[in-house]
């Protein structure tokens, strides 16, 4: 039996996600505070509901894509919330990035109503949602995960069971740590390039092109542990090579920055932590920088 799906919150992310559910068998019921937004979906055959509680009357799997923890709480357990009418065995899935503690708390409340709760934040942005290629990180029981995999497949081509409730959110926070730290590093690279008289728009084209080929930072995220790599391990020569190349290029960038008078704090952190983070220890260049001696 195909679960009927409800979708609450038709904003920048929710709108393209919900649109990809329109052609899915089982029917779609949508809800948003802005009636004019809902018309697009009802014109395409979806049902409209005025409140989250009304959505739960017509759906067994209910997705939520609102702004923050407070809105999620209201949608789930407010006076007109989903739990007022949710049928036992229903699954509530929150795609908003909220606190993992909030997710765990709401899971407990839902359990008292015999309703499953999953935190299911997404990665890939609105372009990914429009193309149906989002990544979804699901925190919840195995039973709930199996229930949501099929409907989530309408807007995602990677659906990961991160662990129990809260794990999906924790994975999203780790992913976004990389995302926004990389943005900050990119601004540092732009400052260096600009001081060197380069076209930083052209630099951006080069970065996007090469990252699409190499996988960017995710290319080194292949091990199942962050522990130090032992002798004889398959990854030791590969990541040692990555460290040595990285330390060389970072040191050259830092020398350029020094000549141009551009502070590069991210580069300083990177050269100190790259080898250790990769599990292979500092290389000769970083060791020399730390000790002021000669490379081993």
Residue 238: CATH number of its domain: 1.10.1040.10
270: Cα separation from own chain's centroid = 23
pLDDT at residue 240 in the model: 95
Active site residue 205: no
Handedness of CA 57, 59, 61, 66 (dihedral sign): negative
Q: What is the maximal distance between C-alpha atoms in the chain?
A: 72
Name the average pLDDT for the chain.
95
252 domain residue, yes or no:
yes
pLDDT at residue 289 in the model: 78
**pLDDT above 50 (res 273):** yes
**pLDDT above 60 (res 202):** yes
pLDDT at residue 296 in the model: 41
Q: Please name the residues in contact with 182: beta carbons below 8 A apart, sequence gap of 6 or more.
A: 216, 217
181 domain residue, yes or no:
no
DSSP 3-state assignment of 122? strand
98 domain residue, yes or no:
yes
Looking at 172, 205, 248, 289, which residue is catalytic? 172
CATH number at residue 37: 3.40.50.720
19 domain residue, yes or no:
yes
243 domain residue, yes or no:
yes
Residue 77: pLDDT band (50, 70, 90) is very high
pLDDT at residue 293 in the model: 58
pLDDT at residue 2 in the model: 83
User: How many independent structural domains does the chain possess?
Assistant: 2
> Average of pLDDT values for 75-83?
98
Distances (CA, A) of 122 to 92, 102, 145, 213: 15, 17, 14, 23
**pLDDT above 70 (res 159):** yes
> Average of pLDDT values for 65-94?
97
My answer on whether 146 and 240 are in the same domain is: no
Quote the CA–CA distance of 24 and 175 in Å, as a whole number.
29
Quote the CA–CA distance of 279 and 94 in Å, as a whole number.
35
> pLDDT tens across 119-155, in order?
999 999 999 999 999 999 999 999 999 999 999 999 9
> Average of pLDDT values for 220-239?
95
My answer on whether 125 and 28 are in the same domain is: yes
My answer on whether 67 and 136 are in the same domain is: yes
**pLDDT above 80 (res 1):** no
Closest to 148 (Cα-Cα) out of 63, 72, 43, 205: 63
My answer on whether 136 and 52 are in the same domain is: yes
DSSP 3-state assignment of 148? helix
189 domain residue, yes or no:
no
Angle, CA 123 vertex, CA 208 and CA 58 arms, to 5°: 145
pLDDT at residue 287 in the model: 85
Residue 234 belongs to domain spanning: 222-296
Of 155, 171, 187, the last residue of a domain is 171
Of 133, 154, 171, the last residue of a domain is 171
My answer on whether 23 and 98 are in the same domain is: yes
Strand runs labelled E in the chain: 5-8, 28-31, 47-48, 61-64, 91-94, 116-119, 122-123, 134-139, 156-163
182 domain residue, yes or no:
no
pLDDT at residue 176 in the model: 95
> Average of pLDDT values for 184-213?
97
pTM score of the predicted model: 0.90
My answer on whether 254 and 155 are in the same domain is: no
My answer on whether 165 and 226 are in the same domain is: no
- The answer to whether the beta carbons of residues 162 and 168 sit under 8 Å apart is yes
> Average of pLDDT values for 219-239?
94
My answer on whether 155 and 269 are in the same domain is: no
My answer on whether 19 and 107 are in the same domain is: yes
My answer on whether 242 and 152 are in the same domain is: no
Quote the CA–CA distance of 75 and 232 in Å, as a whole number.
53
My answer on whether 50 and 167 are in the same domain is: yes
166 domain residue, yes or no:
yes
Residue 294: pLDDT band (50, 70, 90) is very low
My answer on whether 135 and 263 are in the same domain is: no
User: Which tokens sit at 202?
Assistant: 């052209």
> Average of pLDDT values for 67-84?
97
- The answer to whether the beta carbons of residues 153 and 130 sit under 8 Å apart is no
């Amino acid at each position: 039996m195909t679960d009927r799906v409800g979708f609450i919150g038709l904003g920048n992310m929710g709108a393209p996600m919900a649109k990809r559910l329109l052609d899915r068998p089982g029917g779609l019921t949508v809800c948003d505070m802005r009636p004019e937004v809902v018309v697009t979906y009802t014109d395409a055959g979806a049902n409209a509901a005025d409140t989250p509680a009304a959505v739960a009357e017509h759906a067994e799997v209910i997705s939520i894509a609102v702004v923050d923890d407070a809105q999620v709480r209201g949608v789930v357990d407010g006076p007109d919330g989903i739990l007022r009418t949710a049928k036992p065995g229903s699954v509530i899935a929150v795609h908003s990035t909220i606190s993992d503690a909030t997710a765990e708390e709401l899971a407990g409340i839902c359990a008292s109503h015999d309703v499953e709760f999953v935190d299911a934040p997404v990665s890939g942005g609105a372009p990914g949602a429009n193309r149906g290629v989002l990544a979804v990180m699901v925190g919840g029981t195995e039973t709930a995960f199996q229930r949501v995999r099929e409907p989530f497949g309408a807007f995602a081509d990677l659906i990961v069971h991160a662990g129990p409730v809260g794990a999906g959110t924790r994975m999203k926070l780790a992913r976004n740590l990389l995302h926004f730290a990389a943005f900050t590093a990119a601004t540092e690279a732009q400052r260096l390039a600009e001081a060197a008289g380069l076209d930083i728009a052209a630099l951006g084209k080069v970065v996007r092109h090469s990252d699409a080929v190499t996988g960017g930072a995710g290319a080194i995220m292949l091990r199942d542990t962050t522990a130090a790599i032992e002798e004889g391990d398959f990854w030791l020569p590969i990541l040692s090579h990555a460290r040595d190349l990285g330390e060389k290029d970072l040191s050259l960038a830092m020398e350029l920055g020094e000549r141009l008078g551009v502070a590069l704090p991210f580069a300083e952190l990177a050269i100190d932590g790259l080898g250790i983070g990769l599990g292979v220890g500092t290389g000769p260049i970083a060791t020399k920088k730390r000790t002021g001696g000669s490379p081993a």
